[in-house]
Amino acid sequence: MQIAYRARDITEAHIVAGYLSANGIEAHVGGHYLQGAMGEIGTAGFSNVHVEDDDLYRARELVREYEAGGHTAVASEDGDDKADYYARWFLFALAVVAVVLINTY
């Protein structure tokens, strides 16, 4: 296995590994246990994305595309964004509760 990407933190490593997996390249994230050695602060340089030797060239091409911002999110076919819909209603309900509490006290 070869290192295809050196991530800033474990979260970014998983994002890149997921991006590679979505493009047909099996990826493994290393450095989980090393990250915890520094406490709760996210440390840099310990999280790496590994791929098979045969997939290294294609993985690095995809990583360059990812870093350049060429990746796109997959949209749902029916066009509705349920997460945005629920987030708007949650914020509206939160605002109503805040107004009621402010007027009560």
Domain residue ranges in the chain = 2-74, 76-105
CATH of the domain spanning 2-74: 3.30.70.1530
Mean pLDDT of the chain: 80
Q: What is the pLDDT of residue 36?
A: 55
Q: Is the pLDDT of residue 42 over 60?
A: no
Q: Is the pLDDT of residue 10 over 50?
A: yes
Q: What is the pTM of this model?
A: 0.58
Q: Give me the mean pLDDT over the 37-62 stretch.
A: 78
Q: How many CB atoms lie within 10 A of CB 4?
A: 25
Rg (CA), the chain: 20
Q: What is the pLDDT of residue 7?
A: 85
Q: What is the pLDDT of residue 25?
A: 92
Residue-wise pLDDT for 72-92, tens only, equals: 544 445 555 666 777 888 889
8 Å CB contact between 64 and 19: no
Q: Give me the mean pLDDT over the 62-76 stretch.
A: 70
Say how far apart CA 37 and CA 73 lie, in whole Å.
33
Q: What is the pLDDT of residue 76?
A: 47
Enter the DSSP assignment of 9: S
8 Å CB contact between 48 and 6: yes
pLDDT band at residue 104 under the 50/70/90 scheme: confident
